[in-house]
Structure 1
Amino acid sequence: ILFSVAATYAQSGEITGRVLDASGEPLIGANVAIQGTTQGSTTDVYGNFTIRRLENRQYTIVVTYVGYDEMVQNVDVSGATDLGTIYLTPSMLFLSNQVVISATRRAEKLTETPATIQVISSKQIAELPSFNPGELLARLKGVEFVRSGVVGTGVNIRGFNSNFNAKNLQINDGRYATLIATGLPFGPLSTIIKEDVDRVEVILGPNAALYGPNAHNGLVNTVLKDPRATPGTTFALGAGNQSMFTSRLRHAQKINDKWAFKIIGEYTRGEEFEFADSVYIDRQDAAGNPGPDGTPEGYEELELDNDFEFLKGGASVYYSVNDDSDIILGYTGSNSTYLAPTNVGRNQIIDWKLNVFSLKYTSPHWFAQAYMTTSKTDDTYAIDERTKQYYRLLDAGMSDSEARGEQSYASGARFIDDSQRYNAEVQYNNEFGDFALVTGAQWQRDLANSHGTYLLDKNEEDYIQIDQVGVYAQGEYDFGGGLKATAAFRGDNHEVYGFNFVPKVGLVKSVENGAFRLTYSEGIAAPTILNMYGNLFSGLILGNAEGFTLNDGSAIEKQKVEKIKSFEIGYKGQAIDKLYLDANAFYNMSEDFLSPVTVVGVTTQRGDQPISEVQSGYGVFGGLVATYVNFGQIDTYGFDLGLNYRFSNKVNLDFNYSYFDYAVDEDNLEENDFNNDGEVNKLDVLVNAPTHKAGIGLNYSDSKWFGTVFARWVQEYDYFSSFQIAAETQDLVYRGTPVVEDARSTDTWNYGPLGGFVDVDLGLGYHFNEKFTLSGQVTNLFDAEFREFTASPFIGRLYSIELKINLPEIK
């Protein structure tokens, strides 16, 4: 008996702990082993583990997880020993089983998500010698990446791109990263810096069931770093051609077991590529006589400023309520000046300020957050319209200095924004045996104010207020044998366009080293505040929140949401030794497209209000209105293929290919003949995407050297977006002008199709030691002349060099 008691006492020790990644997400199924024995454990859905029945002595534990570097730690066991939180670092290559959160709003292995999801890892971000991590989106399959200049990068997913594309939702750490009035992604206005990004998760296809309106074609979720997982100070200095200079700082510190904080800052400046777009103007002299030949003439953009400048800053404080729960208070802000392409020419963005204030609570079962976003600019303007007004004033007899003054903005060129958005969310998740539940509710209030410059507000006191609320729920059941089923739904009620229900269902069958998936999902793209309450160019363009009555008595219905239904099948996993495969095929059915600006005719009313009381330029336009409508039905389909071959732990090869095409009923003129020309063609459906695109990259990384060579091919394709056109010569008429390459097209110049290029990028870096890293890259290595977007310059070679200093945590 005494021997038995002694043996039991000797084995009363245990080791507990929690395993997380650098962003603070739990790593599910991580292996925790006692070195030299068969004893060990695996982590649960919260990252927790326990190893019991240990003798009281010293052990060496090894924590491993596929896609992460292993962690080895010596532990002295005396009774119950808690190791606290263990953070694993992503390995240099091959991240096949990385944990993601975007697909189901809960941590899960990348291979087991019921969606096509791709990850840009912290390693890839850290080794990019650029201030703009968005450049890495060009290396993902299924993503239509465009570079609109030195700083401008944009993404679209699976077709229907435009210069005002609000169909791909972008979020930063669970917060909407979209402008309030236009719904556009922050883009260069972003308030975060590269050094604070842990990873970027990109979902191809709709995910509106969990994230709400505008997670329509896809979702880009940027996950930020937890200061407790990534303490220390990082300082980066970079320079390159186009007079580019950047300096960035991140400092993160764990003060004690309860408190931690981080601060970030960035200053970046440079010059855009030399390019002046053509602006076409109907010129008349003071007597009303036409110009020399009676036709519009092309002029360069007035007072074009190619300089760009970005200033960013922020801070967050983390308080640990207990081992599993945190309260996080944060702020980020930015002030940005640059050139931005739009579908009516370029905008001169001047001192556009964004601020995001957030409060968040996280625990194993509960998540809650509230945040406020503010947007303010006083001097941003449309270069195209200001240029036209300048020449109108000259023709009216004004002097050059007078025409360049305040009157040059009088026709609606200036955009003032003084808007706010309030968001709140609460979420609950739990597991009940083999069933996992996630449910939550979101509330949003938009307060848009343009001081009467581009919205139907009257002055700085007259906010356009719109409320919306959404509820969502998702259940996941594990049948065993590697088979899981997921079902989700979301209900949204919007003050203007009403209630919408969005479902999603999926099956995942895990096999050895991978999983197959089958998913059905729906999505909606919602009209933005600009779509609903826009007031551009003295009321020539008006928002369609209430519908219009034409002078013949017929009605234009108010705009409603665009809908998509999507079927997808895919596989993700290790196909053979050293080869990782990610493949999917999809079929989408879309209807009720949100149209670009279109002329609907002479109107008498907007809603119940006479048009003469709405349209400030009624004396000129006489009720002629361009607005936004719904139209059309179209099916799209395609597939994406991604391969990753690991030659060794230092070298791997990436390859991706995407195919995209569409089918439309050309006999359905009532719904699909958007421009009312009596036939259905590409000018109605506006797919604006290449059929084929591919990329291939060779990557190397060891303890000292790292580098990559990446080549991207994009097939040539035609592009149409309001005033903007990029197309080959063909027997079509767009906005009253024949489609002719390298010629004028009504309001702008048609330089020819987009795409049709091979772009090669080269990067190389060296770690001198743990503190100092020097790296450089050349984008468009062979200086191939190509244009990726309309209202944008031709892209030339860009090169940059960056010194990064990493200082250890202050104890």
Structure 2
Amino acid sequence: MIMIRTIFFVLSILCSGVCLGQITIQGKVVDAHNQPIPSASLQVVGQTQGVATDFDGNFSLQLESLPASIRVSSIGFVTQTISLSDSETLAIVLEEETMSLGEIVISASRTPERIFESPVTVERFGLKEIKNTASVDFYDGLENLKGVDINTNSLTFKSINTRGFASFANTRFVQLVDGMDNSAPALNFTLGNLLGMTEIDVQSVELLPGASSALYGANAFNGILFMRSKSPFDFQGISAYAKSGLTSQKAAGDNIFWDLGIRAAKKFSDKFAAKVNFSYLEGTDWFAVSQENVLMPGTGREQIDYDGLNVYGDEVSTNIQAVGLALAEAGIIPSGAVNLLPSENVSRTGYLESDLTDYEAQSIKFDGALHYRPFADDLEFIYQVKVGKGATIYQGANRYSLKNFFLQQHKVEVRNDNFFLRAYMTDEDAGDSYDMRFTGININRSWKSDQQWFGEYAGAYIQATLAGASNDQAHQLARQTAETGRLIPGTPAFERALNSVTTNPDLATGSQFRDGSQLYHAEGNYNFSHLIDFADIQVGGSYRTYRLNSFGTIFTDYDGPISYSELGLYTQIQKKLMDERLKLTASLRYDKSELFDGQMTPRFSIGYTAGIKRNHNFRASVQSAFRNPTTQDLYIGLDVGRAILVGSSKDNLDRYVRDFPVNNPAANGGNATATISARAAYENSFSVASVEQGAPVSSGVELVEPEKAMAYEVGYRGHFGKVTVDLNAYFTDYNDFIASQNVIAPLYGEVGDNSLSLLALQSGDYKVFQAYTNADSQVQSYGASIAVASKVLNGFDISANYTFADFEQDDPEFRASFNTPKHKFKASFGHTELVKNFGFNVSYRWSDSYFWQSSFGDGNIPSISVLDAQLNYTVPKIKSIFKVGAANLSGEEYYTAYGTGHVGTQLYVSWTINNF
């Protein structure tokens, strides 16, 4: 606090010039119940001056001259325009907006327009919704929007999904914070709000479900989220919040969490303003404790070849008879003893996930911005910095414990009402993060090598069999023998091994992953509407460079960083006809990655406003979209245990080269090891399905190309008195759908030679690769949603929405990873002021069961029903709002993805002070 005040004091001395000769207009903005409306916007018509009301609804506005007109607006209220002829004190009463579709959005067309007239489906979450959400924070509250799913990765890391094909990385969805893409450049996941925006600095959130490539480029494929922060010119003062409560889960028990934040903003003059934000969250993550056997669902640890879902180290498995053959060839056991060993796979004993992480959840966020208007008009220069550090659990191909994960962004921007030009960079540092699967594997190897463990297992099994033991008894004795020397969780020896493995980036002996990747992005847009009367015309473009630097732990950047760039150009024309009832919008974008051919993505939409009161809007749109392969699709080279992930860029095929031991050296020309590269996945591999069916054939997998789609959408928005209706339906046809495909590459022999390669399969001498490619099958998705909202019984807000989503494919072996419930229903009921200063909200959501597919694992997700509730009380004298609430009030634990911790109940109380 002292530092913030000192900064403001110094800046105020440097920027203390005050404009003289201006006219001051003061007043208060209230609602029909004479309650103040904080953060209401007052804008001088035709000029750039504007302010926002403080917590008590008061304002003071500087005018250059009179007469003048000011436009007064606030989310949830009808906008008014007031004419002024003298410097009177104003008492402005805003009428509550019964039609939420009147809110202004920018994202749909890159220009301000009402949701009612937007050419595509758009959802908005503003200050009113943030205040009234029953969720623990505003980001969780987005899940109550129609057509939106939030997949809970962990307590502090959640991923938004719209219109299917979701994963936690969700590379078909873009999230922008003040125009900056906040996805991790290397790991490819959108960071949710782990390192995003502080709640008290959020002005609005807009979400476009569906394809948006025509304006926003390659990865705005299934949706895009815009989060916009408050300007220090409009929202001044010091605001803060404190939130605390309990997370309750059967596996983890009851744990306290804290969430604290402060915002300080100052308008020093009409030319200069600044702000800083800081927040800190800590708690305990949801424990993931499933011991389901992923190799044989429905069975447990009694299986000799056991691979537990949240158990790590047991992925190391081999054919015990093949081990006997190797022992016999080495002269360790008699050759006849091999026949006593069954041809069965045996796995090492793993460690529980809860033994390998402390489940710490932490988020530390700081951001600051300097805003300069050199002429005290709409031309504005901005420098913004965002810094975040956190600890959480991330689930990708494996489960990762992110420790001291660090991300920073720096942006410079110049803009006015007609253009913007911005450039920013994103820099990530994985900190002390590690892969929990390899932690378990290499802790095992630290006390006994795989060769020794399986050798002791085979020897003990033979001895037990010769002594008359049954097969089950022999396996039990063999495991007990091999487990001699096992490190026990909680002991000093185990903790030393855990620390040694998790700080070692070599996956042969450790599990730490290192990353110092960066992203550089520049973009601009110019709107010619003030120069051209015929139509609104915009042009723009963007340029992006990736610099991958994982030091060889994730990507094949063993000899230095890997860089490549993407370029995009677009234009849009928008025209209103027929007394502005008919609105036509056409867009066209061209994108070019240096690794692929260029892509054209047009969009055309038509909207018509009908009715005497203009209260019905019909719309239709068709647009193409595309998605470039991600950094991991192109350059990953990572052995995750069950498979080796290899990117499919042409220059990546010979980057990943490894030597592997073989079980049958005689078949490999007497060599005990075989060298294999990523090229084998694409040029010398069997399809998994054919091997399982006993008739191995070539996989035929090809190098990955950009994914394309054609999206069609129709919609209707209308209001009938106090009732609003918003519905849409869509159909998307995908081509070259990007997906991963597991293939089996023999360590020796050529696929199709019907001899050595088949012998390699029989001997267990092969590696499973996960190759990134395009599906040959046709993939289509379709769905519809409807939302109805109204005010009833003298001011109660009631709303409900339903969403249907499904897909089709013509290849049953293709893994589409749709990962989305077919049916979803959500509803909310509340009142902003049931009695003076007291409000409440209750929200409910239900989704049916669905099947989850990912590189980590596949499994069924049961149907869920979740009830959230909150009570809030406003104390105007201290400019405070107190809230008490509960997320998942019923306490019935649920999960949204296979392998994650089950979500329990979260109880919270909060105190927010808004001094605007």
The whole-number CA distance in structure 2 between the counterparts of 1:442 and 1:209 is: 12
Give 1:72 shift. 8.3
Is residue 300 of structure 1 aligned with residue 300 of structure 2?
Answer: no
Question: Do 2:214 and 2:570's aligned partners in 1 also have CA atoms closer than 8 Å?
Answer: yes
Aligned residue for 1:655, secondary structure, equals strand
1:94-493 counterparts in 2 under 5 A?
A: 94-128=99-133, 132-241=137-246, 242-276=255-289, 277-279=310-312, 280-282=314-316, 295-296=346-347, 297=349, 299-301=351-353, 302-322=355-375, 323-342=377-396, 344-396=397-449, 400=487, 401=493, 403-407=497-501, 409=504, 410-411=506-507, 413-431=511-529, 432-458=532-558, 462-481=560-579, 482-493=581-592
Give 1:765 shift. 0.7
Aligned residue for 1:373, secondary structure, equals strand
The whole-number CA distance in structure 1 between the counterparts of 2:210 and 2:93 is: 30
Aligned residue for 2:799, secondary structure, equals strand
Give 1:406 shift. 3.1
**CA-to-aligned-CA distance 1:579-637 (integer Å, 9 cap, x gap):** 011100111111212113522635999xxxxxxxxxxxxxx987763321110312221
AA partner of residue 696 (structure 1): A
1:464-613 counterparts in 2 under 5 A?
A: 464-481=562-579, 482-511=581-610, 512-537=614-639, 540-546=644-650, 548=679, 549-551=682-684, 556-574=701-719, 576-596=720-740, 598-599=742-743, 601-602=745-746
AA partner of residue 767 (structure 1): T
Aligned residue for 1:785, secondary structure, equals coil
Give 1:469 shift. 0.8
Of residues 874, 877, 880, the one that matches 1:767 is 874
The whole-number CA distance in structure 2 between the counterparts of 1:714 and 1:136 is: 16
Tell me which residue corresponds to 1:36. Answer: none
The runs of 5 or more residues in structure 2 that have no matched partner are 1-22, 30-39, 52-64, 247-254, 290-309, 328-340, 453-484, 488-492, 654-678, 686-697, 750-763
Tell me which residue corresponds to 2:805. Answer: 660
More deviation, 158-167/777-786: 158-167
AA partner of residue 893 (structure 2): E
Q: 1:442 to 1:60 in 2, by over 3 A?
A: closer
Aligned residue for 1:628, secondary structure, equals strand
Aligned residue for 1:477, secondary structure, equals strand
Tell me which residue corresponds to 2:823. Answer: 692
AA partner of residue 791 (structure 1): G
AA partner of residue 167 (structure 1): R
**CA-to-aligned-CA distance 1:771-804 (integer Å, 9 cap, x gap):** 1211021011110122222221111111111011
More deviation, 293-302/646-655: 293-302
Question: Do 1:601 and 1:626's aligned partners in 2 also have CA atoms closer than 8 Å?
Answer: no
Tell me which residue corresponds to 1:796. Answer: 904
Question: Do 1:90 and 1:123's aligned partners in 2 also have CA atoms closer than 8 Å?
Answer: no
The whole-number CA distance in structure 1 between the counterparts of 2:223 and 2:271 is: 37
Higher helix content, 1 or 2 = 2
The runs of 5 or more residues in structure 1 that have no matched partner are 1-14, 22-29, 34-40, 49-55, 606-619, 667-671, 676-682, 728-753
**CA-to-aligned-CA distance 1:117-173 (integer Å, 9 cap, x gap):** 000111212344766422112101111222233223222111112243211111111
Structure number with bigger Rg:
2
The whole-number CA distance in structure 2 between the counterparts of 1:582 and 1:88 is: 28
The whole-number CA distance in structure 1 between the counterparts of 2:361 and 2:95 is: 34
The alignment covers a number of residue pairs equal to: 707
Q: 1:42 to 1:550 in 2, by over 3 A?
A: same
The whole-number CA distance in structure 2 between the counterparts of 1:763 and 1:275 is: 28
The whole-number CA distance in structure 1 between the counterparts of 2:748 and 2:507 is: 22
AA partner of residue 635 (structure 1): Q
Question: Do 2:45 and 2:70's aligned partners in 1 also have CA atoms closer than 8 Å?
Answer: no
Question: Do 1:239 and 1:245's aligned partners in 2 also have CA atoms closer than 8 Å?
Answer: yes
Give 1:77 shift. 4.2
The whole-number CA distance in structure 2 between the counterparts of 1:61 and 1:270 is: 46
Question: Do 2:207 and 2:223's aligned partners in 1 also have CA atoms closer than 8 Å?
Answer: yes
Q: 1:377 to 1:282 in 2, by over 3 A?
A: closer
AA partner of residue 335 (structure 1): K
Higher strand content, 1 or 2 = 1
Of residues 620, 625, 636, the one that matches 2:769 is 625
Is residue 721 of structure 1 aligned with residue 868 of structure 2?
Answer: no
Q: 1:294 to 1:365 in 2, by over 3 A?
A: closer
Give 1:513 shift. 2.1
Q: 1:89 to 1:430 in 2, by over 3 A?
A: farther
Question: Do 1:374 and 1:419's aligned partners in 2 also have CA atoms closer than 8 Å?
Answer: yes
Give 1:336 shift. 0.6
The whole-number CA distance in structure 2 between the counterparts of 1:233 and 1:31 is: 18
AA partner of residue 401 (structure 2): Q
AA partner of residue 332 (structure 1): K
The whole-number CA distance in structure 2 between the counterparts of 1:75 and 1:801 is: 44
The whole-number CA distance in structure 1 between the counterparts of 2:136 and 2:826 is: 22
Aligned residue for 1:145, secondary structure, equals strand
Give 1:94 shift. 4.7
The whole-number CA distance in structure 1 between the counterparts of 2:107 and 2:486 is: 57
Question: Do 2:350 and 2:441's aligned partners in 1 also have CA atoms closer than 8 Å?
Answer: no
Give 1:76 shift. 4.3
Aligned residue for 1:404, secondary structure, equals helix
The whole-number CA distance in structure 2 between the counterparts of 1:320 and 1:42 is: 18
Give 1:480 shift. 2.6
Q: 1:807 to 1:641 in 2, by over 3 A?
A: same
AA partner of residue 732 (structure 2): N
The whole-number CA distance in structure 2 between the counterparts of 1:90 and 1:353 is: 46
AA partner of residue 346 (structure 2): T
AA partner of residue 391 (structure 2): T
TM-score, length of structure 2 as denominator length? 0.71
Aligned residue for 2:140, secondary structure, equals helix
Q: 1:88 to 1:186 in 2, by over 3 A?
A: farther
Tell me which residue corresponds to 2:914. Answer: 806
Give 1:526 shift. 1.9
Q: 1:149 to 1:378 in 2, by over 3 A?
A: closer
| Root-mean-square deviation (Å) | 3.6
AA partner of residue 146 (structure 1): N
Q: 1:623 to 1:689 in 2, by over 3 A?
A: closer
AA partner of residue 214 (structure 1): N
AA partner of residue 801 (structure 1): V
**CA-to-aligned-CA distance 1:99-134 (integer Å, 9 cap, x gap):** 111111111111111110000111212344766422
AA partner of residue 710 (structure 1): S
Q: 1:270 to 1:483 in 2, by over 3 A?
A: same
Question: Do 2:587 and 2:602's aligned partners in 1 also have CA atoms closer than 8 Å?
Answer: yes
Question: Do 2:159 and 2:168's aligned partners in 1 also have CA atoms closer than 8 Å?
Answer: no
Question: Do 1:695 and 1:712's aligned partners in 2 also have CA atoms closer than 8 Å?
Answer: yes
Give 1:573 shift. 2.7
Q: 1:497 to 1:780 in 2, by over 3 A?
A: same
